[in-house]
Chains A and B, each alone.
Chain A
Amino acid sequence: DSGVTQTPKHLITATGQRVTLRCSPRSGDLSVYWYQQSLDQGLQFLIQYYNGEERAKGNILERFSAQQFPDLHSELNLSSLELGDSALYFCASSDRSGQGENEQFFGPGTRLTVL
């Protein structure tokens, strides 16, 4: 158990819908990262937040957005869903902002299926 929790575990929805994935980092970790893992693209970095502020952006679509709240939990919002958005979405946390070495601890993931 990494200490990172993600809900829901599974999500099935239809094209065009909007969903919210939730992540609670390990106690004391200020950084939250979101990754997407699909069959054809592998594990891809989406976005990082540090202490409530966006720190880095990867290949995140404009239809996707995220935020980190004062209690440090994070939500990833996916809208206008397409079949290709079906994937595993992982959240990770670390206690660093990016300077120096750090380990990222990953949650169990949310499996999103878009029908």
Chain B
Amino acid sequence: DAKTTQPPSMDCAEGRAANLPCNHSTISGNEYVYWYRQIHSQGPQYIIHGLKNNETNEMASLIITEDRKSSTLILPHATLRDTAVYYCIVRVAINTDKLIFGTGTRLQVFP
């Protein structure tokens, strides 16, 4: 699975959009980009995933660049409850679907 690089921490004002970047320059054609988050010491929570196209769900939007070497997770209106560590994971969907977590981005949403 391709390696990902994320900034260690980011701040965002409540009500503003939080844009979390992820670099995955060695991604290959059959690898998906997944985002999970972990609030304090709770179990990680799935947010969204995509292959090539941009994706949106009730939680967030995922923008993947055309060359697929990077992506951005967008939380459109961040709230205090969005304070968490966000993990960007690249995964090949064959045979096993273990998740390899990096160090993630610690997002702090402030009032």
Q: Chain A CB within 10 Å — which of B32, B94, B97 has the most?
A: B97
User: What's the Cα separation between A108 and B43 when bound, in Å?
Assistant: 5
* B99-111 Cβ-contact flags toward A at 8 Å (1 or 0): 1111100000000
Interface size on A, residues (CB 8 A): 31
A88 lies within 8 A of B98 (CB): no
Residue of A nearest to B46 (CB): A103
Residue A64 is within 8 A (CB to CB) of chain B in the complex? no
Interface size on B, residues (CB 8 A): 22
* Complex partner residue of A56 from B49, B87, B98, B101, CB under 8 angstroms: B98
* Complex partner residue of B99 from A2, A4, A45, CB under 8 angstroms: A45
User: How near does chain B come to A20, taking the closest CB pair, in angstroms?
Assistant: 19
User: How near does chain B come to A57, taking the closest CB pair, in angstroms?
Assistant: 9
A90 lies within 8 A of B95 (CB): no
B99 lies within 8 A of A104 (CB): yes
List residues of chain B with CB within 8 A of the CB of A90. 43-44
* Complex partner residue of A105 from B38, B46, B49, B102, CB under 8 angstroms: B46
Residue of A nearest to B87 (CB): A43
User: What's the Cα separation between A14 and B107 when bound, in Å?
Assistant: 36
A100 lies within 8 A of B93 (CB): yes
A92 lies within 8 A of B43 (CB): yes
A96 lies within 8 A of B43 (CB): no
B94 lies within 8 A of A99 (CB): yes
User: What's the Cα separation between A35 and B41 when bound, in Å?
Assistant: 13
Given A109-B42, A111-B41, 11 new contacts (CB under 8 A): A35-B101, A56-B98, A58-B98, A88-B41, A96-B97, A98-B94, A101-B93, A102-B97, A103-B46, A104-B99, A108-B42
